[in-house]
Structure 1
Amino acid sequence: MILIGITMLWGATFLIIHNTMRFTGPLFFVGLRFITAGVMSVILFRKSLGGLNRHELKAGCCIGVSVFLGYSLQTLGLKTISGTQSAFITALYVPMVPFLQWAVLRRRPHAMSWVGVACAFVGLLLLTGADAVSGVGFSAGEGATFLSAVAIAAEIILISRFALSVDSRRVTMVQLLVAGILALIAMPIAGESVPPFSWVWLVAAIGLGAMSAIIQFAMNWAQKTVSATRATVIYAAEPVWAGLVGRIAGERLPFSALIGAGMILVGVLASEIRLPRSRKNAKPVQETT
């Protein structure tokens, strides 16, 4: 239930960030957002900070790097594409998870994972428009959002990798601060400067910062008992909520893009279907009393 609530909050953030990008650059906004989230988590969990060990510091830094890449690239994409479109492209991280698990954890993808990726890829082409279908390529915003999906898939795998061996509170503090600091450090490298003051980016950064602190802790805590595969199925509802919020706000996708969005959702769900094993390969069940 907590992860379902997270997807509802996530879905609402796309439109907020898309509108905020008119007043600030992506790295400054991500940096301020996650520094705010990190400070809030330190205040909230300060009593547990003393137990931080090297393993938890490593886990927090690894997850923090993936959070920085995922949110920075997603925010960059939202400068030029709608919140609804961004949400559905971001959802591609779900069918990516089994293949990253194969590469990193040596867990071979299930047969339906290939079906899910095929459906999601066709949906991506339809969602991003005629140029992508004809081979011209994705726009910069679409490309950045696609790369953010890869980073978010890595984040989910890392959280599951460390979840049972770390304290969720301490890891949450570290990953949020690492993500925010990296974003601010990257600003001069990317040629981004501090924007003129605006209540829009200030309120959005503080509000989403508080939301990020809650969300990241909830993910770390919930994935102690919820597998990465099951978590990704729950997260699949995120673009649906984003689409509903965008629809209310006046965002409209062309018919082909709507079909593409539907194909991505089909791919997301298909990738998590597990076909029953054949009787030949099934192990006999021993009766117990």
Structure 2
Amino acid sequence: MSRLQANLLLLVVSLIWGTTFVVQKNLEGVGAITFTGLRFLLGTLAISPLVYREYKKRQRAIQLSAQPNTYLYKKNDFFQLAMLGVFLFVAALLQQVGIASTSVTNAGFLTGFYVPMVPLLSWLILRQRPHWSVWPLSIGCVIGIGLLSGIDSLTFGSGDSWVLASCPFWALQIVFVGRIAERLNSPFLVAFSQFFVAGALGLVWGLIKEPFSLAGMEQASAAILYAGLISVGIAYTGQVIAQRYTQAADAAIVMSSETLFASFFGFLLLGEILDFEGILGCILILLCIVLIQLLPLFSNRKIPSNVLDG
């Protein structure tokens, strides 16, 4: 998969996540913790056949190699996979708690702050210096999300604090997920493991802390199915696959388009109207996504020798 194809896949992922904002906002019947656990466990079940197929394929490859007694995975691998699951669970839970007590507009804008956090954390933790264009384009995405969300009318409440608190954990998940998937060469295992850890944590904690009933499950069944099978099973798995072939900072900028898609579906399905500032925000986000594809290519172009000699 090329870098361009990976980023196009991330656009599809962002489209799915954009529709999920509405589903999360209108959640009724179960608590935020239980919902987070159920959606990720459902995603775990959805991709389990793919994980088994990937495992058997890797097992056969090792048996045919010159070192048939090599371990498939090391203990440290499972620690890192569990770490990813914790990042994902905390990020999703904090966002879900926040969305329940704030507007989709505020949630979309504040979640966008993970975009500049990703290159910063990649630089500080992994010593990966991003292309210079990542910094202004990350800020451009946040400004675009602000215009799209109606930044002049934003008010800050307790729900907004929860959403903002989720941003470092989204950023950490994005920073590490592609790196781990590339190293293990097992994207479905990475997706499965983080889903299982996040789902198990959410379900156990939810059953302890929140009221639970079959009637509530039935009421929330459509939201759980959509968020579990589509948002987690398809979109989050697509994120893991795509991030093996693109930089985390680039991925963050592309995935910021989820706010753009959320606004589009709000217009299409809910009759919400974009004003001039919103349209300007859409254009700015799209411009940043296009530029993050093009600017590194221009920077990496070699100068012809005849130009240097002349």
Name the TM tier (shorter chain): 0.7 to 0.9
CA distance, structure 1, for counterparts of residue 223 and residue 173 of structure 2: 23
The answer to whether the Cα contact below 8 Å between 2:181 and 2:190 also exists between their aligned partners in 1 is no
CA distance, structure 1, for counterparts of residue 238 and residue 146 of structure 2: 33
Aligned to 2:212: 194
Shift in CA distance, 124/171, structure 1 to aligned 2, threshold 3 Å: closer
Structure 1, unaligned stretches of length 5 or more?
A: none
Any residues of structure 2 matched to 1:41-190 within 5 Å, and which? 41-49=47-55, 51=72, 53-108=74-129, 115=136, 138-166=156-184, 167-187=186-206
Structure whose residues are more often helix by fraction: 2
The answer to whether the Cα contact below 8 Å between 1:117 and 1:267 also exists between their aligned partners in 2 is no
The answer to whether the Cα contact below 8 Å between 2:34 and 2:205 also exists between their aligned partners in 1 is no
Shift in CA distance, 118/220, structure 1 to aligned 2, threshold 3 Å: closer
Residues 139-181 of structure 1: CA deviation (Å, up to 9, x unaligned): 1221211222221111111112212211112122111100101
TM-score by length of structure 2 reads 0.73
Tell me which amino acid in the other structure corresponds to 1:12.
T
TM-score by length of structure 1 reads 0.78
The answer to whether the Cα contact below 8 Å between 2:130 and 2:249 also exists between their aligned partners in 1 is no
Aligned to 1:227: 247
Tell me which amino acid in the other structure corresponds to 2:127.
R
Find out whether 1:240 has 2:267 as its counterpart. Answer: no
The answer to whether the Cα contact below 8 Å between 2:34 and 2:203 also exists between their aligned partners in 1 is yes
**1:145 is paired with a residue of what secondary structure?**
helix
CA distance, structure 2, for counterparts of residue 145 and residue 263 of structure 1: 25
Residues 251-271 of structure 1: CA deviation (Å, up to 9, x unaligned): 758969849966984996699
CA distance, structure 1, for counterparts of residue 106 and residue 162 of structure 2: 12
The answer to whether the Cα contact below 8 Å between 1:66 and 1:151 also exists between their aligned partners in 2 is yes
Which of 16, 37, 42 matches 1:36?
A: 42
Name whichever of 255-264 and 227-236 sits farther off: 255-264
Q: For the pair shown, which has the larger CA radius of gyration, 1 or 2?
A: 2
Find out whether 1:207 has 2:213 as its counterpart. Answer: no
Name whichever of 162-171 and 196-205 sits farther off: 196-205
**1:197 is paired with a residue of what secondary structure?**
helix
Shift in CA distance, 129/65, structure 1 to aligned 2, threshold 3 Å: same
What is the aligned residue count?
277
**1:226 is paired with a residue of what secondary structure?**
coil
CA distance, structure 1, for counterparts of residue 143 and residue 240 of structure 2: 32
The answer to whether the Cα contact below 8 Å between 1:121 and 1:264 also exists between their aligned partners in 2 is no
The answer to whether the Cα contact below 8 Å between 1:91 and 1:264 also exists between their aligned partners in 2 is no
- CA RMSD after TM alignment: 3.6
**1:152 is paired with a residue of what secondary structure?**
helix
Shift in CA distance, 170/285, structure 1 to aligned 2, threshold 3 Å: same
Tell me which amino acid in the other structure corresponds to 2:190.
V
Residues 85-136 of structure 1: CA deviation (Å, up to 9, x unaligned): 423322222222111112211234665555456666777888586797xxxx
Tell me which amino acid in the other structure corresponds to 1:202.
S
CA distance, structure 2, for counterparts of residue 236 and residue 121 of structure 1: 8
CA distance, structure 2, for counterparts of residue 78 and residue 213 of structure 1: 21
Tell me which amino acid in the other structure corresponds to 2:182.
L
CA distance, structure 1, for counterparts of residue 89 and residue 29 of structure 2: 20
Tell me which amino acid in the other structure corresponds to 2:108.
A
Name whichever of 214-223 and 11-20 sits farther off: 214-223
The answer to whether the Cα contact below 8 Å between 1:94 and 1:268 also exists between their aligned partners in 2 is no
Which of 12, 16, 19 matches 1:9?
A: 16
Tell me which amino acid in the other structure corresponds to 2:103.
S
